[in-house]
Amino acid sequence: MPPITWHPGLHIGIPEIDEQHEKLTGMINELCLAYAEGRDKAVLSEIIIGVADYAGYHFDAEEKRMREAADPEIEAHLAQHRGFLGRSIGFLLSFVDGREELTVEVLDYLTGWWVGHITGTDKNLGRYLAGRGAAS
């Protein structure tokens, strides 16, 4: 479960979104590190709640950009966000509630999804917004 190294290859070219991606990447890394260090549940739970809140905030910001630019891919993109919130974030919150154990597999899935989504769907969004002159 190595940390995600933030690098320019992860930029989608929209400064607001890139900043949010970098911030959430840092929070996910913090969670993985705390888990690897065996930090207690209170510490992990606090980070998880921060990740869940910020993921929601970030997805809302992307949705706003998509709506403003009439992105034809919006529904498929939002379905991916909902899937992530329901599966990965939902699972993390179940751990906070005491209904699930946190495992390395859950964290691997979380980090894999996050990087895959940024480099796939979100990069496509960046290209679309750039093409519409809406990349600032």
- CB 59 to Fe ion: min, Å: 6
Name the residue with the smallest CB distance to Fe ion.
122
Torsion-angle region of residue 100: left (phi > 0), alpha (psi -120 to 50) or beta? Answer: beta
Dist. CA 36–CA 132, nearest whole Å: 43
Residue in 98, 58, 97, 63 with CA at minimum distance from that of residue 78? 63
Single out the residue of 89, 102, 122, 135 in contact with Fe ion (rule: CB under 5 A). 122
- Token pair of 48 as six digits: 């998880």
- CB 49 to Fe ion: min, Å: 19
User: C-alpha distances in angstroms, 45 versus 33, 96, 112?
Assistant: 13, 5, 21
Between residue 50 and residue 69, which ones bind Fe ion under the rule CB under 5 A?
A: 62
18 lines the binding site for Fe ion (CB under 5 A): no
- CB 39 to Fe ion: min, Å: 27
71 lines the binding site for Fe ion (CB under 5 A): no
Give me the residues that bind Fe ion (CB under 5 A), please. 62, 122
